[in-house]
Amino acid sequence: MIDYLIVGCGLAGISFSEIALANNKNILVVDNDSQNSSKIAGGLYNPVILKRFSEVWQAREQLILMNQFYVDLEKKLQVKVDFKKPILRKFFSIEEQNNWFAASDKPALAPFLSTSIITKKYSGIDSPYNYGEVLHTGYVDTASLLEHYKTYLLQQQLLVQESFDYEALEVLSDSIRYKNIEAKHIIFAEGFGLHANPYFNNLPLDGTKGELFIIKAPELDLDVIVNTSVFILPLGDGLFKVGATYNWKDKTDTPTEEGKQELIDRIKEIIDCEFEIVSHFAGIRPTVRDRRPLVGTHAEYKSVHVLNGLGTRGVMLGPAMAKALFDSIENDIPLEKEINIKRFEPKNKR
């Protein structure tokens, strides 16, 4: 019997797999590569919500766990996936500069917002009002991470590449059986695929479609991430990742003309040089209406658990939420109310 059967190998599944393995637990991962939001994600980590100048929920704690998590993972996989890069917020007015300084005075934001205006001029960007710099930022190359992690799992014979068959799952009193596999626990970390899951499809996972570009802009000389209404992330060789849109109605992962035009318009607000679209991607982020993850144990089946709803911040949230779920299962440490799926149970059942 193994300790954990983990369904899904995106950011949530990888995070839980690593926490379990670090604690000497036996795992097996089932994944069919159907959910691509982790693969195409921007992968940015940023402790500040720049639209509202507010701190990301539990940003400090998440950054500490995240930094060590990716250091350990890079050693294990022998590949670089975590790239520390400043995020610059382009200002469009003196008023925006003033708002930045007001925000940087707040105790929660002071560690993350530089009080020095960045006046450097980047070829291809007109920036008469300059930039503000967010600290402790960067990006994870999620596509490379997923590729190398799956290769590692295959080498260790820890990955079953198939669609999960919910009808083949048998929940026993203190364990589960799936086909010929017996496990003490099953972790569902299948992203937007949760909607097909009969154990957790009652949870309010909305799903938000995001579209991204890879563009080629040889005249754009940029070695930092610029973030306004979209982010522009340098990839090298004149290539940049640009995103992302937010669509709450369309639940397909097909790129659209509407999304394409929205990205083009927003790019033109930031840069003033020519660019061409090399690739156009779309994916469904697993989002929740209260903007908190879905973490916890099934109300009836104590061996059945969920780790989902990481939304747009999976790179930062994944390690912390996986640790919280692991500690809940193994050490009886209660989950925080903000993330516990019990928050969606009828009050008379709590």
DSSP of 59-85: HHHHHHHHHHHHHHHHHHHTS--EEE-
pLDDT given for residue 256 in this prediction = 96
Asked whether residue 34 carries a pLDDT value surpassing 80, the answer given is no
pLDDT tens readout for residues 273-291: 999 999 999 999 999 989 9
Mean pLDDT of 294-307: 97
State both tokens at 149: 């992690």
pLDDT given for residue 61 in this prediction = 94
pLDDT given for residue 87 in this prediction = 97
Predicted confidence band of residue 237 (pLDDT cuts 50, 70, 90): very high
State both tokens at 314: 């999976």
Instruction: Catalogue the E-assigned strands of the chain.
Output: 2-7, 27-31, 44-45, 48-49, 54-55, 82-84, 87-90, 131-134, 138-140, 159-161, 169-171, 176-178, 181-188, 208-216, 225-227, 231-236, 239-243, 276-285, 294-297, 304-308
Higher-confidence position of 44 and 53: 44
pLDDT tens readout for residues 160-169: 999 999 999 9
Asked whether residue 36 carries a pLDDT value surpassing 70, the answer given is no
pLDDT given for residue 54 in this prediction = 87
Rounded CA-CA distance 293/239 in Å is 33
Mean pLDDT of 178-204: 95
Between the alpha carbon of residue 292 and those of residues 103, 164, 339, 345, the distances in Å are 23, 26, 6, 15
pLDDT given for residue 35 in this prediction = 66
pLDDT tens readout for residues 170-189: 999 999 999 999 999 999 99
pLDDT given for residue 236 in this prediction = 93
pLDDT given for residue 277 in this prediction = 97
Domains of the chain, earliest start first? 2-43+143-205+289-349 (3.50.50.60), 86-136+208-285 (3.30.9.10)
Asked whether residue 33 carries a pLDDT value surpassing 90, the answer given is no
pLDDT given for residue 231 in this prediction = 95
Asked whether residue 95 carries a pLDDT value surpassing 70, the answer given is yes
Predicted confidence band of residue 135 (pLDDT cuts 50, 70, 90): very high
pLDDT tens readout for residues 249-271: 998 889 999 999 999 999 999 99
